[in-house]
Structure 1
C-alpha cells in the first residue's frame, strides 16, 4: 500500500491545528476519516506520528521529522499544478533586490522554479533594506525587486502586489486566548508583547496599535523572527506576525498557536517593484509573467508601469 496525498494532507492539517476535530472541520470531512488516514500513515511508516492526549495531538520526534517532508511533498504538488510552461526563448540578465523577510521566507523557492522555467535568464539577487531598494531602482542599479509592497514609499516606484499574508496573534500552546476563535487588541494589550523590528515590522505594528487606541506591553524588541518564535513558544510573551513567516514549531520543538484578530490589522503585502516608466526587458517580462501566473487573481491589485 502506497502513501497517498490524502493521508499527507490530513496529517499536515492535524499537525497544524493540534486536534483531529479541528482538522476535520477545516478539511470539511469526518473525524473518523482523519483518524483513519493518520493510522494508515503510521502503519506505513512504522512509527507513531502523534502522542494522543486530552489536550490534543502532539507530534512525536518522528512526526516532526515527517512533517518537514510532508510540507515539501505538498509544495511540490502545488508547484506542478501552477508552474508555467518553460519559455526557452526568454534570455538575459536580471538584477533583483529583496528585503530580509522576502529573501528568507519566500524568494529562494521561486528562484529555483524560475531557473527551471526560464533557463536562459540569469538572475543576480541582492539583499537590501526598503529605502535602499527604492533608491537602487530609481538609479537603475537593479532592475526589479521582490518586496513588501505595503512598505513602499518612493513616488517613482511602480509595483504589483502578488498576495497579502494575514497577520495573526501568535500564542504558546494552551494559552487561554488560544481557546478563542478571535481576539481584539484590547485583550492582547494585557499580555507581554514581543515586537519584531526587521523590515519595518515595528513601524507597521505601532501604526495599527495607535489606530486602536491601545498600547502593547512591549517586553522585547528584536530583528530575529526565530527569537520571536522561541519566546512565544516557551511562554515568554505573544506576538502579531504574518502567516508568511509562521511555522507551528519553534527550534526547540515547542508548539505555537495562532488566533485571528478582530481589529483592523493590515496584511503583509508581497509583490514586485520597478522604476516607473522603465522599458521592460524580455527577462523582466518573463519574471513578472511567472509571478502573475503563480499568484495573481484575474484582477490585478497594483500600480502599473
Structure 2
C-alpha cells in the first residue's frame, strides 16, 4: 500500500467519478482504475460499487476512507512540523530542577504556551543527574539544570546566573558574617545539589561548623526557616517567590558566587522545532540574568 494509492482513492471517493478524479490528479483514467483495483486486491474488499458509468463508495470503502483521511492528515501535519517556517507543534517534554521550576519558569512556561498553543508541553522536575539521564535516553527533549554535564552526547547552553541568598527568620537576629552561623542548623537539599556544594565549600573556607539537615523540598525548607529552626541558602528566584511580607531576612555575601544554570539537550536530535523555540525563549527572557555578571 502506497501513499499515492491512498491519495487516488480519496480523490475518487470525494469526486464520485474516475474521470473527475483523473482531471484533479492530472493522470489518465486507466491508471486510476488500475491503481484502485490493485488496492482492492490488496485489502481483499471492494471499495466502490460500479453503477453504470459512475461509482458509489461501498461500506468497506466508507470505513477505509476514515482511516485514509487520518493518514493523509497526519502526513500533512508531519510536513508542517518539520517545516522551519511553520509554527511549532506536537509534544515537548521539558524537565527542570525544582529551584528553576519554582523561581524562574512559571511566567516563561505561560508565555511559551501563548506563543505556541499547538505545542503540547509535558513538564517534570527532578535532580540534575536524573534529568541528564532522561535527556540522554530521549525521555526528555531538554532540561534546565545547575550543573554542566560532561557527557559527549549532551549539548548545554548557559541561560542564566542564579544568585544565592542566605535566609533566616528575623527572630534569629542579624547575621553579620559567616562565623555567626557556627552551630546553627542549616536546611539544604540532599548531597549532590550544586547549591549545597557551594554552601559547604563556603563554610569550610571560613572554618564554620554547622549541622546540615537534608530536605528535598523548598516549601519545607522555607517553612523550617520561617519558624526560626535554622537557616538556608537558596537561589534568588526561589527567595523572590516565597519571602514576601517580611517573614524572612535575606543576606548576600560577596564570596558566595552565583551558580550557572543551563538548558541541556541531546545533540543527536538534529531537528526539534518546539525545543529550539523553547531554548530561544529561555535565552531571550533571561538575558539580563546572564549578562549582569
Please indicate the TM-score interval, normalised by the length of the shorter structure. 0.5 to 0.7
Q: 1:208 aligns with which of 176, 188, 202?
A: 202
2:250 matches 1:258: yes
In the alignment, structure 2 segments of 5+ residues that lack a partner are 1-84
CA distance in 2, matches of 1:213, 1:298: 28
Who is 1:228 aligned against?
A: 221
What's 1:26 paired with?
none
The secondary structure found in structure 1 opposite 2:261 is: strand
Q: Does 1:276 align with 2:267?
A: yes
For residue 249 of structure 1, report the CA deviation from its aligned partner. 5.9
Q: How far apart, in 2, do the equivalents of 1:254 and 1:300 lie?
A: 29
Change (3 A) 1:158 1:190: same
For the 8 Å contact 2:95–2:143, the answer to whether it is kept is: yes
SS for the counterpart of 2:225 is helix
1:172 to 159, 169, 176: 169
Alignment of 1:89-100 (within 5 A): 89-100=87-98
Q: Alpha carbons of 1:128 and 1:240: their partners in 2 closer, same or farther (altered >3 Å)?
A: closer
Are 1:287 and 2:278 an aligned pair?
yes
The unaligned stretches of length 5 or more in structure 1 are 1-86
Instruction: Return the alpha-carbon distance in structure 1 between the equivalents of residues 290 and 228 of structure 2.
Output: 42
Answer yes or no: is the 8 Å Cα contact 1:100–1:198 preserved in 2: no
1:268-302 CA deviation, whole Å, 9 max, x = no partner? Answer: 3333111235413221221111112211259889x
Alignment of 1:108-257 (within 5 A): 108-148=106-146, 150=147, 152-173=149-170, 175-177=172-174, 183-197=176-190, 200=193, 201-210=195-204, 212-218=205-211, 220-247=213-240, 255-257=247-249
Quote how far apart the aligned CAs of 1:243 are: 0.9
Q: Find the residue that maps to 2:252 and give its secondary structure.
A: strand
Report the alpha carbon displacement of residue 190 of structure 1 after superposing the two structures with TM: 4.8
Give secondary structure in 2 for the equivalent of 1:246.
helix
Note closer, same or farther for the CA distance 1:161–1:219 as it changes in structure 2 (3 Å cut). Answer: closer
TM-score (norm 1): 0.57
* Conserved? CA contact 1:159–1:273, under 8 Å: yes
Over 3 Å counting, the alpha-carbon distance change for 1:177 and 1:299 in structure 2 is closer
Given the alignment of the two structures, is residue 104 of structure 1 paired with residue 106 of structure 2, yes or no?
A: no
CA contact (8 A) 1:163 1:271 kept: yes
The partner residue of 1:296 within 274, 287, 292 is 287
Q: Distance in 2 between matches of 1:242 and 1:133?
A: 19
When the two chains are superposed, the root-mean-square deviation of aligned CA atoms in Å is: 3.2
